[in-house]
Structure 1
Amino acid sequence: MKGKNRFKFSLSAAAIITILSSSIALPTSTYAADEKAENFSLTIMHMNDTHAHVEPLPKMITAIEEVRAQNPNALLLNAGDVFSGTLYFNKFQGQADLALLNMMNIDAMTFGNHEFDLGSSENGHQSLSAFIEKANFPFISSNVDFSGDPFVGNKVSNTFAENAQDSNVYDGIVKEVDGEKIGIFGLTTEETLETSSPVNAQITNYAAEAERAVKAFEDMGIDKVVALTHIGYDSNPAVGNDLMLAEQVDGIDVIVGGHSHTKLEQPTIVDTDENGAPKDPTVVVQGYQYAQNLGELHVAFNGEGQVVHSEGHLIDVESKTADSEASQVLASYKAEVDEMSNQETGAVAQKPLTNPRLSDSDVSVRANETALGNLITDAMLAKAQEKMPEVSIAMQNGGGIRAAIDQGPITVGEVITVLPFGNDPAVVELSGDEIKQILEYSVRLAPEESGGFMQVSGMKFSYDSTKEAGSRIVSMQVKNGDTYSYIQPDQTYLVTTNNFTAKGGDGYDVFANAYAEGRVQDLGEIDWEQFRDYMVEDLNGVVDPVIEGRITDLLGENPEPSNPVEPEEPSDENPDPNSNDEDPNGDGDNKDDQQKPQEEPKDDDQGNDTNDDDNDDQDKNGVTPPPNSGNKGGNNSNNVSDGNFVKVADDNDNVVKGKQLPNTATNMFMYMLTGAVLLAAGAVMYLFKRKKAKA
C-alpha cells in the first residue's frame, strides 16, 4: 500500500533519484521511468469553468472525439462552474449547456461555487436540481451536504459508489479502466459560503473530507485516486487549494482542478509534503476557462499504485471544426439568446459613451480618464460595497473595456460587448504604499497607451508624465462621503477590481503578490451583470457619467524641488478635531505637495508588451479573502504628513500654499542673524573705545 510514510520503502533508491531529478530538471513535469510492462496507463480529459460559454462546445465535442479515437478508454471529468456568465445561463439556467454536455459522455462532474448562484432566489436549488436530473452523468462532491435541500436532497447518496448512476450525487465513484479500478472523489470550495448562495446546502472542510475519501478507497482495495476539485490551484489558503491538498493529504495521485481559471499548459508535480519531506507524487492539472481548452493528461502507475510518469497538455478548442450534430443542437438555443441580446436593460444613455483610442482620438481609455471608465468603476464600487461596505476604491484596467455605448436605450448585448470577458469581481487588501506602486505602474507609459492603465472610482490622483517612470505619482486621495483625504502609505484599504487584474494580469506584480499572500477575495459576481444592475437599479436607468478630474496629468506644471522635504511629525499640541488634510481646491492637483523618490517599477514578462494588453490570456490564479479592514481615515492634525506629501495649515486650519523651509535653511538664517548682531555689537564697542581714547 502506498503512502507518504511508506515512500522510502516502496520505491528503490534509483527510482527516488529518477523522480526527484526529473521534477527539478524537466520543465515538462514529466516523470521519467522505465516503461515496464506492468505499469498501468490512464488518460484523463478535463474541462473546467466554462461559465455558460455554450457556443464553443460543438468544437469541444470534436476535440473529445479525437482524443477518444486514440484512447477509447479515456476518462472525461468536469471540474465545475458550468453556471453563470453569459445570456445562455440567464435564459436557460444551465439547460443549454447540458444539451451539449450530454453529448460528451462525461464520467463525472463536481460542483463549482457558481452552481449555487440561484439558491437564494429559488429558496433552494431548483434549477440545479433540474440540471442534475437531466444529466446523463453522475455528480461528485465529498464535502457538500445537500440533505437539507428540498430539491437536490433526494438525489444524494453519501457513498463512494462502484456502480454510480447518472443524475445522482455521490461523495465519490469508482471507474474501471482496463481492469484497474480508479477512485474519483469531488471537492467544492468553502468560499461558496461567502461568494454564492448555497442556502440549505452545507460545505465542510476540504482536507478532512479528502482524508475520508482516500481512506474509503483504500478500504475498498483501490490504490489509484483522483480528486476532482473546484477549490482553486493556489487560491485562498484560508479555505484550501489544490497545492495544499496535494501536500497535506496523502494518497491522492491526480488532482483535476477548477475555480481559479488557471492555465496549466503542463501538469504540476507535487512530491513533497507541507513540511518539505518526500512523498508519493501528485499530478495537478487545470484547463483555464470558458471552454477554450480541453485538457489531456496521460499518467502511468506502477504495480503499487504510485505515479511513475505523467505528461499533459491543453488542446486549443477554437482550432477544431464544430461537430455538425452539436451545432444543430446549439442553433435553437442561440436564436433565442441572439434575440435576448437585443432586449433593452431599462437604462438609457443620455449621450454617446465612447471608448476612445489614440488612433482616432486625442484621449484613450488606456491613457486618460473617460466617462465610460468612470461609469464602469462606479458600478464596481457600488456593487462591491453591497457585500463589503468597507471597500473604498475600484480599479478597472482600460484594456478590459472593449466597446462604446450608443446614445439611447442600452441593450443587454451592448453591456456584454463592453465587458465581454465575464470576469469575476474581486476585493484586494492593499496598503497605501501598494496603491501608489499600482498607480505608478498604471501611468508608466503615459501619455502612450497601456492596457493596464487604470480607470478608478472612490479616489483621485495626479501624476506627472514628464518624470521618469516609477516616480510620477504626485497626489493620491480616497473619497470619504463628499470629501477626500490623502491616502496613507501604511494604512490598509480594500480595493475592488476584476479577477484578471487581481491575480496580476497586465504585469501587476503588486496584485500578484497580494494574491499569493492570501489578500484577494472573489465576490461571486459577474462583471457585466454588476454593470447592468448598477445602471438600472442605482442610477434608475438615467446614465450620464462625466469626467470629474479623477486622473490628472500635470504635464510638468508642478516641478518637484531638487531637495524634497522630509515630513515632520504631526504636532500633538492643541489638536483641532475639525481640521482635515483634504485638498483645499478639490481639484486633486496638490501642486505644492512633495513626493519622496520612488524605485523604478519591476516589469515581468507580461509588463513588457503593454500597448495592446487585453484580457485574452488571463492565466494567473486564485482568490483569497482579506480580513475586514477598510479605510480608517486620514490624519487630521494641523501640520500633517501622509508619508509622501506635506500639508501646512495656518491658524484657521486652512491649508497654506507654499512649502515649509528645510531645517538647514532655518538654521543658516539663525546663524546669519546671530553673526550680524555680534558684528554690530563689536562695531559699537570699537567706536566707543576710540572716542574714549581721544578724550
Structure 2
Amino acid sequence: MKKFILFITLFGYLFIQSFGKNPDKDIVILYTNDVHCAIDNDETTIGYPGLVSYRDEIVKKGKYVALVDAGDHVQGAAIGSISKGDYIIDIMNEVNYDAVVPGNHEFDYGMEQFLHFTETLDTGYISCNFRDLKTGKLVLKPYKIKEYGDVKVAFIGIATPESITKSVPGYFMDSNNKYIYDFDGDEEGVQFYALIQQAINDAKNEGADFIVGVGHLGESADITPAWSAQSVVANTSGIDVFIDGHSHQVQEGLKQKNLDGKEILITQSGSQFKYIGKVTISTKGKISTELIDRSKVSSANKNLQDFINAIKNKFENALKEVLNHVSFRLNINDENGSRIIRKQETNLSNLVSDAILNESKKYADNVDFSFVNGGNIRTFIDPGDITVGNIRDVLPFNNELCIIEVSGQTILDALELSSSKYPSDFGGFLHPSGLTYAINPDIETSVVTDEKNIFTSVSGDRRIHSVLVNGKAIDPKKKYTVTGDNYFLIQGGDGYVFNDATIIIKNFGLPSDVVGEYIKKLSEEEMNKYKEPQGRIVFSNVTIIDDNKLNKEGESGANSLIINTKLSIIIFMATLIFYCIM
C-alpha cells in the first residue's frame, strides 16, 4: 500500500512537472494591440478608461487578471506625435500593464527615444529577437513570468523583423549606414524560430506552466510569410496561445497546428480599441479566446479619463485651429469602409501629394513631382471644418520632407516595388503628384528583395507602364527632381533604395505642417477638385503610345501595341483632366 501511495505521489509529481499545473481560479488575460493613440472612451472606442473599468469588473468576480499589449501604441494621433510618444507611455503606466511587446511604430521617433521608452515604461518591454549587433546580446528581456496562485504564466515577446523597413531603417544603423540592431529575421525563418523556441524552453525550465506568445507579427497575406504568427506557431512547440498584432485583423481565434500537431489559438483584436482581446485559462487548463466590443464595456474609469483629459488640455487648444472647410469626405477607404489607400489612389492621397509638391517649390526650383506613401496617411477627414488636429491625425509621423535628384530608371524601379504587393496592401504604395502611371495586375511581380525586405532588383517582366512626368513619357536616363518623405526617399523606409540620388534639401518641413499650410490657401472651388480621385494611378494591361519613348531595343518610336482602344482613351482622358485641373 505504501509503495502504491508512493507511486501515485511520484506519478502525480512527474505529471505536473511534465504538463504543468492548473490554476485554482480562472486566469483572464486582457490584451490590446495596435491602439495607435486611440486613448479615449467614446461611443465607438473602448479606450484605456474602458479597459481599466472592464478589468476591474473581472477582478471583482474573483478571477486573476493580466494585462498585455502587443505593440503599436505610441503613434497614430496628435497626442503621440506632439510628445514623441511620452504621453502614451504615461497613460499606459497609469493603466498598469503586465507585459508589453514593441511594435514597429514604437521605433518611429528614433532609437534614442525607443530606448527612453524602455526606461520609462514601468513594466518594460519584452522581445526574444531584438538584438544589439555590437554586443551580440538581446536589447530586452525575452520573456516575463507572472505568478497566479501557484501557477506560473510566461509571456514570450516577439517583435516583427519587418520593423526595420516599416519604421525607419536608418534608426537601426550607425553613422556609416551599417546595421547595429536586428530582429534575427532570416528569410526562411530558421534562425527566427530557433530563437523563439529557445525562449520557450528557457521559460519552461524556469517553471512556467503556461506559455503565452505575445507577438507583433500579423497573419495577413501582406505579412512576410516566414515571420507571420502562423509560421511561428507552426515551427515551434510549447506555446499554448498566441496574442498577436501588426496586421490590424479582427481575429477571435485562428487555429494553427504547432510543430507537434497540436492546435493553437492565434488571436488579435483589430486596431484602435474597437475591441479588447480576452484569453481565459480555466481551472481545468482549457484555453479560450474572445473579443469584447464596445457594447460589452458598460463604464469608463473616471480617474483615468481625468488623467487623460489633463494631458490633452496641454495641447488641444492649438489643435482646434480651423484651417478650411470641406463638404465631402477626404478618404482612405472605399464605399464599404475597407482601407484602400495602401493599394490604390484616393482623393485624400491626391490632396496630400499636391500639397507636398506645391510647398516644395518654395525651397527648390523645378521640382518635377512628389510621392507620398500610403502608409503615411493614417485616417480620413469627415465633411466639416478641417482643423490642425485633423491634419495631425492624418499625418502623425515626425519624419521630415526632403528634395532629391534621381534618375528615371530609379523611379521606374521604385514604382515596381510600390506595386509589388498588389492586390494586397503595402504601406509603401506610392501616390504621386506631377506624375501618372499604370499598373498591369495581370503580370506577376518580379521584384527581388533581400532578407530584410530591401529592394535589390527587378528580375523579369514589369508591372508598371505608361509613366508620364508632367504629361511626357519618363526618360530612364534623365535626372528628375523629386520631393517626399525622407523616410523612404533617403532612409530606406518600406524597402526603397535610391542609390543614385543626390540630396538637394534633406529637411524642409513636417508633412502635417506642409499640408496644413496648403489647405489653408485653398478656395472652395480648389477644394472641390478633390471630390473624387483624379486618375493618376490606373490598372490596365494597355500601354499608351508615345513616340518620344524609347523601346527596349533603344530605338525611337511607338513601343507598345494598343490592345484595347477604349481603355487607352480612358487613361489618356484621365491624365488630361488631371493636368487641366492642377
Q: TM-score normalised by the shorter chain: which range applies?
A: 0.5 to 0.7
Pick from 469, 480, 488: which aligns with 2:468? 480
Aligned to 1:19: none
Q: Equivalent residue of 2:313, what SS?
A: helix
Question: What is the correspondence of 1:311-350 to structure 2 with a 5 Å cutoff?
Answer: 311-316=289-294, 319-342=297-320
Q: How many angstroms does 1:73 deviate by? A: 1.3
* Amino acid in the other structure paired with 2:219: Y
Match of 1:51 among 9, 31, 36: 36
Identity of aligned residues (%): 19
Structure 1 partner of 2:232: 245
Per the TM alignment, residue 640 of structure 1 is displaced from its structure 2 partner at its CA by 3.7
The aligned amino acid for 1:482 is N
CA distance in 2 between counterparts of 1:250 and 1:185 reads 13
Q: CA deviation at 1:211?
A: 1.6
Q: 1:645 aligns with which of 565, 569, 574?
A: 565
1:310 aligned partner, one-letter code: S
With over 3 angstroms needed to count, the CA separation of the structure-2 counterparts of 1:267 and 1:324, relative to structure 1, is same
CA–CA distance in 2 between the matches of 1:236 and 1:433? 10
DSSP-derived class of the 1:128 partner: helix
Instruction: Report the counterpart of residue 515 of structure 2 in structure 1.
Output: 535
Equivalent pair of 2:550/2:559 in contact (CA under 8 Å):
no
Query: How far apart are the structure 2 equivalents of 1:312 and 1:375?
Result: 40
Q: Tell me the CA shift for residue 480 of structure 1.
A: 2.6
Give the whole-Å Cα distance in 2 for the aligned partners of 1:382 and 1:71: 61
Distance 2:196 2:420 in 1: 40
Q: Which stretch shifts more, 55-64 or 313-322?
A: 313-322
Name the SS of the counterpart of 2:299 in structure 1: coil
On the 8 A contact 1:301/1:309 being kept in 2, the answer is no
**Structure 1 residue aligned with 2:59:** 68
Aligned with residue 355 of structure 1, among 328, 332, 341 = 328
1:529-678 matches, within 5 Å, as 532-535=512-515, 547=529, 551=534, 578=548, 637-638=557-558, 640-645=560-565
1:42 to 14, 21, 27: 27
- Opposite residue 202 of structure 1, the aligned amino acid is D
Between the aligned partners of 2:245 and 2:264, the Cα distance in structure 1 is: 16
Q: Does 1:194 align with 2:176?
A: no
Query: Matches of 1:50 and 1:90 in 2, distance apart?
Result: 14
Aligned equivalents of 1:326, 1:642: Cα separation in 2: 63
Tell me the equivalent position of 2:196: 210
CA drift of 1:41 comes to 5.1
* Inter-CA distance 400–140: structure 2 relative to 1 (3 Å threshold): closer
C-alpha contact (below 8 Å) 1:294/1:317 kept by paired residues:
no
Do the aligned partners of residues 416 and 225 (structure 1) sit closer, same or farther apart at CA in structure 2, a change above 3 Å counting? same
Which residue matches 1:258?
245
Give ranges in structure 2 of 5+ residues lacking alignment: 1-20, 41-46, 173-179, 186-191, 331-339, 360-367, 400-413, 426-430, 439-463, 475-483, 485-492, 497-508, 536-540, 569-582
Q: Partners in 1 of 2:290 and 2:206 — Cα distance?
A: 29
Q: Shift of residue 338 of structure 1?
A: 1.3
Matched AA of 1:340: A
Partner of residue 115 from structure 1, selected from 103, 106, 111: 106
The TM-score with structure 2 as length reference comes to 0.58
Question: What displacement does 1:180 show?
Answer: 1.7
- Name the SS of the counterpart of 1:186 in structure 2: strand
Task: Give 3-state SS (helix, strand or coil) of 1:190's partner.
Answer: coil
1:459 matched residue in structure 2: 436
What is the CA-CA distance between 1:90 and the residue it aligns to?
2.3
> How far apart, CA to CA, are the structure 2 residues paired with 1:221 and 1:77?
20
CA spacing shift, 1:420–1:271, aligned 2, 3 Å: same
- Compared CA separation, residues 400 and 323, structure 1 to 2 (3 A): closer
Return closer, same or farther for 1:78/1:532 CA change in 2, 3 Å cut-off: same
Match of 2:125 among 105, 115, 139: 139
Q: Deviations over 1:50-100 (max 9, x none)?
A: 122222221221122122223531221111112111111123333322333
Distance 1:219 1:325 in 2: 41
Mapping 1:218-297, distance limit 5 Å: 218-234=204-220, 235-237=222-224, 240-264=227-251, 266-271=252-257, 273=259, 279-297=261-279
Query: Which digits, 9 at most, give the CA deviation of each residue in 1:247-273, with x for residues without a partner?
Result: 111221111111111112x21121255
**What is the rounded CA distance, in whole Å, between the counterparts of 1:58 and 1:215 in structure 2?**
36
1:376 aligns with 2:352: yes
Deviation for aligned residue 1:415: 1.9
- Could you say which residue in structure 2 is the equivalent of 1:682? none
* Secondary structure of 1:291's aligned partner: coil
Structure-2 change in CA distance of 1:70 and 1:481 (3 Å): same
User: 1:267 is paired with a residue of what secondary structure?
Assistant: strand
Cα deviation for residue 326 of structure 1 reads 0.9
Q: 1:89 aligns with which of 80, 101, 104?
A: 80
Which residue, out of 381, 384, 399, partners 1:402? 381
* Aligned CA distance change for structure 1 residues 541 and 341 (closer, same or farther; 3 Å): closer
Whole-angstrom distance in 2 between the partners of 1:318 and 1:38: 26
- Alpha-carbon spacing, 1:403–1:484, altered in 2? closer, same or farther (3 Å): farther
Aligned residues: 420
CA distance in 2, matches of 1:301, 1:633: 73
**Partner of residue 184, structure 1:** 155
Distance 2:421 2:59 in 1: 53
- Aligned in 2, Cα 1:315/1:63: closer, same or farther, shift over 3 Å? farther
**Which runs of 5 or more residues in structure 1 are unaligned?**
1-35, 159-168, 358-365, 384-388, 439-454, 462-475, 487-495, 497-519, 524-528, 553-565, 571-575, 582-631, 649-695
Name the CA distance, whole Å, in 1 between partners of 2:348 and 2:22: 63
Per-residue deviation at 1:315?
A: 3.7
**Which has the larger Rg?**
1
